[in-house]
Structure 1
Amino acid sequence: MSSSTIVQTHNLSKTYEAVNRVNRVNLHVQEGEIYGFLGPNGAGKTTTLKMLLGLIKPSEGTIHIFGESLSKHRPSILQRTGSLIESPSYYGHLTGLENMKVMQRLRNVPDKNVDEALRIVRLENQKDKKAEQYSLGMKQRLGIAMALLAFPKLLILDEPTNGLDPAGIGEIRELIKSLPARYGITILLSSHLLSEIEQIATSVGIISEGKLLFQGSMASLQHESRTSILLKTGDNVRAEKILLARAYSPARMGSRLKFANIADTEVAEMNRLLVEHNVPVTRIEEQKKSLEDIFLELTGKERSL
């Protein structure tokens, strides 16, 4: 395993009542990444993250974090790991600061860490308010502050924007994006929100029904969605014949002709050819797949995320 690999699993699996909730997943998370673990609800994201933290025992496979086997070195690995799984855990009758002090004793870290973590999540001015009086977004930020308390090398966040309003989602997103450069933290982040992963992650893994369908950089995933041009004319049959004769390769798509990976100069040339042959061009559209389009293609099914 590369020295820069923070998380690596091999054939990681979890079976409940003969059903594979996680099926032979091979994760690779590199140092300094924001790794977006993407999939619909019930895909196996939370189960996978719980196995990475030793909260659930795998049915099969191995886990290495920081180059060490989780089964052999769990205490030392967890000392360098922070996590927020499913929802923040806190004492409602205690203030934000008092909750942080409880976690401080568990993690055995200095007072300055408490102050810094609260400042990072912008709760320093609300630290004396009881946690039960916090808004949902503030509770989520408190949970992240607790996870950051020891300033871990690895931060695992399970659906950190779940249930937040757009303003809260934006706050958490900007917070997460700042952590690798400012504090050297590698982040493994799960979500079913496609737009969030697209905006925040540098690498992505797509899981569905327990199987890892794609893994790679965000740039490589977006590369799979090269721009296409859709052309609509007054006579698509003639247009297709004319363009085929000039070595263009249109595909039929309903009432339009589709051209993949084509340059702007070629689009202009096709338009000129058709006009010269008295074929009216009524519409030229650029089509680029969204992350959702790619997800649906990978899973091969139309399903709600």
Structure 2
Amino acid sequence: MNTYPIIETQHLTKSYGGTPRVDHINLAVQQGEIFGFLGPNGAGKTTTLKMLLGLIQPTKGSVKVFGKELRNNRRFILNQTGSLIESPSYYGHLTGLENLRVMQRLRSLPAKNIDKVLKIVRLDNHKHKPARQYSLGMKQRLGLAMALLAFPSLLILDEPTNGLDPAGIGEIRELIQSLPAQYGMTILVSSHLLSEIEQIATSVGIISEGKLLFQGTMAALQAQNQAAIHFQTHDPAMAVKVLAAHGYRPRILEQLLVFGAMQDSEVARINEILVSSQISVSRIEAFKKSLEDIFLDLTGKERSL
């Protein structure tokens, strides 16, 4: 396995009219990862991905892919990279098969790759249908087939489930999850659909207003949030007074007593204090935030629109 990140940026910045859209981002994507690039709409995700592919030039900073500087090795890097940015490009009057043949010939790829990718994206039964007659989900899968045609080492996908129905989202999710193990691919996938990234990503980066707020494994992100303990009582205000005499300082949230993470023995002790003080406890719950809650805390944005 390579010792260097597959993707590495240093202080990557893109400004328009003096206003940074991407602001000094240091990304590191390791080999074999599914790296989820999360952010609200307009956060700078697509601008970042375009810079990784050399589609737009950074205002400052550097991009390395496969350990090589992008500016001096773009052809080498792109020969090993597949991408789907914003929306699929295709010739509407050509069939799915014909669109893939155009791409195959332009890139001098083996013809057998066409049948392989059609099966992978489940378009083999629709390959003779004009692309303009495809549903939105089928068009998205055709774009994925084009991105996969060279069986690249790196796959960059920008909102690949955008506009799809739940069944289509599930299909794309399953496909993305299968690629690293089956074909040794590293995948960078951007999304504002947080629940989708939570299900597929091994690592995650969170961007908001052009700034990278978090980067690490999904486990590390979840570890930032220790479980809180909630007590439901018939008289929260009185419960707070009683517990204060024993050194506890819970806060009240929606008529619940909220404590930080604690051992089971301490939970039992608090319950004993309340019951012995004639304050009935009707429920004790451990509450842990979802990835969406953590994301909202970090960005201060609505979860997904």
* TM-score, normalised by the number of residues in structure 2: 0.94
Q: Which residue matches 2:226?
A: 226
Post-superposition shift, 1:242?
A: 4.3
Matched, 1:91 2:55: no
Partner of 1:176: 176
Summarize the alignment of residues 185-264 of structure 1 with structure 2, pairs less than 5 Å apart.
185-244=185-244, 246=246, 248-264=248-264
**Alpha-carbon distance in structure 2 between the residues aligned to 1:106 and 1:60:** 32
Asked if structure 1 preserves the Cα contact closer than 8 Å seen for 2:7 and 2:28, the reply is yes
SS of 1:5's partner is: coil
The alpha-carbon deviation at position 275 of structure 1 amounts to 1.1
Percent identity (aligned): 66
Answer whether contact 2:34 2:203 (CA < 8 A) is retained: yes
Residue 3 of structure 1 pairs with residue 37 of structure 2: no
Distance in 1 (alpha carbons) for counterparts of 2:270 and 2:186: 48
1:1-305 aligned at under 5 Å gives the runs 3-244=3-244, 246=246, 248-300=248-300, 305=305
1:159: Cα distance to partner?
Answer: 0.3
Shift of 1:297: 1.4
The one-letter code matched in structure 1 to 2:111 is D
Deviation at 1:241, TM superposition (A): 4.7
Instruction: Give me the whole-angstrom Cα distance separating, in 2, the residues matched to 1:302 and 1:196.
Output: 16
Partner Cα separation in structure 2 for residue 177 and residue 83 of structure 1? 16
CA distance change for structure 1 residues 231 and 30 in 2, over 3 Å: closer, same or farther? same
Q: C-alpha offsets along residues 68-99 of structure 1, whole Å, 9 cap, x if unaligned?
A: 00001000000000000000001111111100
Amino acid at match of 1:161: T
Change (3 A) 1:152 1:304: closer
Counterpart of 1:78, as a letter, is L
Contact 2:236–2:252 (8 Å) recurs in 1: no
Distance in 2 separating the partners of 1:149 and 1:252: 56
Task: Report the Cα offset of residue 107 of structure 1.
Answer: 1.5
Amino acid at match of 1:82: G
SS at match of 2:51: helix
What is the distance in 1 between the residues matched to 2:132 and 2:199? 31
Instruction: Tell me how large the CA RMSD over aligned residues is.
Output: 1.7
Q: Secondary structure at the match of 2:47?
A: helix
1:110, distance to aligned residue in structure 2 (A): 0.5
Structure 1: 5+ residue runs without aligned partners? Answer: none
Gaps of 5+ in 2: none
Q: Is the 8 A contact 1:3 1:67 kept in 2?
A: no
Whole-angstrom CA distance in 2 between matches of 1:172 and 1:34: 13
Distance in structure 1 (CA, Å) of the matches to 2:139 and 2:250: 53
Q: Is the 8 A contact 1:180 1:187 kept in 2?
A: yes
CA distance in 2, matches of 1:79, 1:219: 33
2:162 partner letter: N
Q: How many residues align?
A: 304
TM-score (norm 1): 0.94
Deviation string for 1:230-287 (max 9, x for gaps)? 1132333443354455554523335322112124443334223311221111333332
**What secondary structure, in the 3-state scheme, does the structure 1 residue paired with 2:126 have?**
coil
